[in-house]
Chain A
Amino acid sequence: MATLTSSPAVAAAAVRPRRRRLKDSPALLWVTTPLLLLAFFGVWKLYTVLFDVSPLLLPPPEQVARALWDLLGQDYLYTALYFTLYETIVGFGLAAVVGIALGIILGRARVLERILSPFLVATQVVPKVAIVPLFLLWFGFGATSKIFMAAIIAFFVMMQNTILGIRSIDPGHRDLMRVIQAPWWKRVISLDVPSSMPYVLTGVELGIVFAITGAVVGEYLGGNDGLGALAVVMLSSLRTDLLFATVIVMTLLGFALYAIVAGIRRFAIPWHESSGRTTSL
């Protein structure tokens, strides 16, 4: 009896350290992600077979894979990809500069923030999709209208996070800078920037994802270039498999941009708790 009751405890003691190591290690994702993807494709395939779904509505995974392979061999994909990437990055850059600068100013000047906040919130509550026709009217069907679309969607999160970052500066640190008689530029370089950096980078992480959404939505609704326009073409020629493949390419692009920004975070603020973990969107 005694041996029986003690054996589970021994087993648990032997197993626990290894399990804990796996739980904390980055290798965990390398194991779980393929497994989850496999399960996802399995369910997908099963569904199309069991319910005999028309490939026009939902093509089976292997057909999408073939379409993706075809698509990757086409020059027009890379032209579209380049276009979307260009719009996203320029729009994001614009939003980052304006959003962070405005965030710093509004973070400092509370009165100004209160005065402007209704207008800033208004830019966010207006359904963005509804502004696209207006942008097309103003900036034409080329890249400019999409750049502005990407920028206007991305700018708000970056501004908000910057404001939060400036507000979160430890008042003790502010006192310290006053006591050592630091001039304003020294305070900006040595306190404001590093202290608000974690917040700003969170905004930037979200901003890049929002920017790509903005660019693609813009392309959907007008113009002939970019991944969004490509998706529209696939849809109107009833190539659902290629539409899926296009969406997958968009997803991969988003992932790549996010990974770059998240990598910057780890590099830029190694001292912060958040480094080593990525923000969940």
Chain B
Amino acid sequence: MSAPADRIASELTELPVDRSVTMTEPNRRTGTPSGAGIDLEGVGKTYVTDAGNVLALKPTDLKIKPGEFVVLLGPSGCGKTTLLRMLAGLITPTEGVITINGRPLFNERTEQPSRDALGDLGFVFQQATLMPWRSVWRNIALPLETRGVKKAERRERAEQLAAQVGLSDFLDHRPRALSGGMQQRVAIARALAHEPSILLMDEPFGALDAMTRDNMNEMLQKLWMETGKTVVLVTHSISEAVFLADRIVLLSPRPGRVQDIVDVDIARPRTLDTAKQDRFNELVVRLRGQLGEVSA
């Protein structure tokens, strides 16, 4: 077998296929929710640009419970990234209030995000945003550096995470040597490094092939079930949304607003077979109809 083919093969087989855990655990959740609750009241955003104002998100109300898995679903340009970036304190809403665990995220006077409210936050950007001068493992361990974790421990944690996303063979490579999908997996590992209580993910699997994507979805569900993080994930994919979400927030096209919130009442752990269930397909069909309706 040639070297690249070898690599691909090892990549595919090394993905987390540890389904035994999910099979033997009939209960819904093993971990108690360690995540934080997020409250949005009338949160909206208008971008002010030279070319005029852009209303990206109409005032939105949303309550996210601690440990809940929420998926934001909507067509391109409907303000999903905008919403997520506001939750991360990266941009300031032009109206409304965001509170995390009861603490207001933005200081009303300075409009700066408060460190206390943010707590530990993991963010997977729409682009991988790896640092090209750092090796893979040092990219993964970056969030640990600001938290004073010793080097040996950082390396160990990075190895563990790399194994989880199927990149054990690439720890000492530079990001440039990785494919787009592999880079995105490094970015996911990095977001998990410091065990954040809130995980915000902006189309984390958009660049992956269908098979890897399924594997990553299962990994994410397992991780979430074990740790009880609060997860807010953005996606274009209806089936991915149904597979992962406790609740799906359906956004309408520009200007974005919440069109519907759908509870996904399918038992966990969900597996690839779940996609064959009637309830799963019902939800997919319903959501597809709603998405088609709004874009028509």
A positions within 8 Å CB-CB of B: 170, 172-173, 175-176, 178-183, 186, 190-191, 194-195, 197, 269, 271-272
> For residue B88, which residues in chain A have a CB less than 8 angstroms away from its CB?
179
Q: When the two chains form their complex, are residues B129 and A178 in contact, meaning their CB atoms are under 8 A apart?
A: no
B positions within 8 Å CB-CB of A: 85, 88-90, 115, 118, 121-123, 125, 127, 129, 131-133, 142-143, 145-146, 174, 176, 194
Q: When the two chains form their complex, are residues A172 and B127 in contact, meaning their CB atoms are under 8 A apart?
A: yes
Given that A175-B90, A271-B174 are contacting pairs, would A170 and B146 also be in contact in the complex, using a CB cutoff of 8 Å?
A: no
10 contacts between A and B (CB under 8 A): A170-B129, A175-B125, A176-B125, A178-B89, A178-B90, A179-B121, A179-B122, A181-B115, A186-B145, A190-B131
> For residue A175, which residues in chain B have a CB less than 8 angstroms away from its CB?
85, 90, 123, 125, 129
Q: How far is the CA of A62 from the CA of B174 in the complex (A)?
A: 52
> For residue A179, which residues in chain B have a CB less than 8 angstroms away from its CB?
88, 90, 121-123
Q: How far is the CA of A180 from the CA of B194 in the complex (A)?
A: 9
> For residue B118, which residues in chain A have a CB less than 8 angstroms away from its CB?
181
> For residue A194, which residues in chain B have a CB less than 8 angstroms away from its CB?
131, 133
Considering the complex, give the chain A residue whose CB is closest to the CB of B176. Answer: A271
Q: How far is the CA of A172 from the CA of B89 in the complex (A)?
A: 14
13 further A-B pairs in the complex, CB-CB below 8 A; given A175-B85, A190-B145, A271-B133 = A172-B127, A175-B125, A176-B125, A176-B142, A178-B89, A179-B123, A180-B143, A181-B118, A183-B146, A186-B145, A190-B131, A190-B142, A272-B133
Q: How far is the CA of A190 from the CA of B132 in the complex (A)?
A: 12
> For residue A173, which residues in chain B have a CB less than 8 angstroms away from its CB?
129, 131
Considering the complex, give the chain A residue whose CB is closest to the CB of B123. Answer: A179
Main secondary structure of the interface of B (DSSP, over half): loop
Which residue, of A178, A179, A186, A271, has the highest number of chain B Cβ atoms within 10 A?
A179
Considering the complex, give the chain A residue whose CB is closest to the CB of B144. Answer: A180
Given that A172-B129, A269-B133, A271-B133 are contacting pairs, would A180 and B176 also be in contact in the complex, using a CB cutoff of 8 Å?
A: no
> For residue B127, which residues in chain A have a CB less than 8 angstroms away from its CB?
172
> For residue B125, which residues in chain A have a CB less than 8 angstroms away from its CB?
172, 175-176
Which residue, of A170, A172, A176, has the highest number of chain B Cβ atoms within 10 A?
A176
> For residue A197, which residues in chain B have a CB less than 8 angstroms away from its CB?
133
Q: How far is the CA of A191 from the CA of B129 in the complex (A)?
A: 12
Q: When the two chains form their complex, are residues A180 and B90 in contact, meaning their CB atoms are under 8 A apart?
A: no
Q: How far is the CA of A143 from the CA of B115 in the complex (A)?
A: 53
Kindly provide the distance from the CB of A136 to the nearest chain B CB, expressed in whole angstroms: 45
Q: How far is the CA of A230 from the CA of B64 in the complex (A)?
A: 79
> For residue A272, which residues in chain B have a CB less than 8 angstroms away from its CB?
132-133
Q: How far is the CA of A182 from the CA of B133 in the complex (A)?
A: 18
Selected from B85, B89, B132, the residue in CB contact (under 8 A) with A271 is B132
Q: When the two chains form their complex, are residues A180 and B146 in contact, meaning their CB atoms are under 8 A apart?
A: yes
> For residue B143, which residues in chain A have a CB less than 8 angstroms away from its CB?
180
> For residue B85, which residues in chain A have a CB less than 8 angstroms away from its CB?
175
Considering the complex, give the chain B residue whose CB is closest to the CB of A180. Answer: B143
Q: How far is the CA of A181 from the CA of B118 in the complex (A)?
A: 9
Q: How far is the CA of A110 from the CA of B283 in the complex (A)?
A: 51
Q: How far is the CA of A170 from the CA of B143 in the complex (A)?
A: 18
Q: When the two chains form their complex, are residues B129 and A176 in contact, meaning their CB atoms are under 8 A apart?
A: yes
Q: How far is the CA of A88 from the CA of B122 in the complex (A)?
A: 49
